[in-house]
Amino acid sequence: MVKCTKGQVRRLKTALRWKIPAEQRQRIQMVLLRESGMTQPLIAAAMGVSLSTVNRAHMATAESRRSSRDPVADASART
């Protein structure tokens, strides 16, 4: 499932080189695995987390992309 652009994937891979908290690093890795074509159940099994955690990580990334493109969605998220 490809939802990120090439630039977004590149920025996520770059973020993995930064010094970031382990939880944030794990969520970025989950999104990158999902973008590479792995299914959510496989990612959950491989990383030892629940399926809902994988879904939340992917949905949080999708939400941040949508709010950055749509000022209306961003304004409604703040209220």
The number of folded domains in the chain is: 1
- Taking only the tens place, the pLDDT of each residue in 49-79 is 888 888 887 677 666 655 555 555 444 455 4
Structure tokens at 39: 């299914």
- Taking only the tens place, the pLDDT of each residue in 14-38 is 988 888 888 888 888 888 888 888 8
Q: Is residue 12 part of a domain?
A: no
Q: Is residue 39 part of a domain?
A: yes
Q: Is residue 35 part of a domain?
A: yes
Q: Is residue 10 part of a domain?
A: no
Phi, psi at 11, each rounded to 5°: -65, -35
Q: Is residue 76 part of a domain?
A: no
- Taking only the tens place, the pLDDT of each residue in 1-14 is 567 788 888 888 99
Looking at residue 74, what is its pLDDT?
46
Cα 56 from Cα 52, distance rounded (Å): 6
pLDDT at 46 over 60: yes
Looking at residue 67, what is its pLDDT?
55
Hey, what amino acid is at 72? Answer: V
- pTM, rounded to two decimals: 0.66
50: containing domain: 22-69
Q: Is residue 61 part of a domain?
A: yes
Cβ neighbours for 9, distance < 8 A, ≥ 6 positions apart: 32, 35
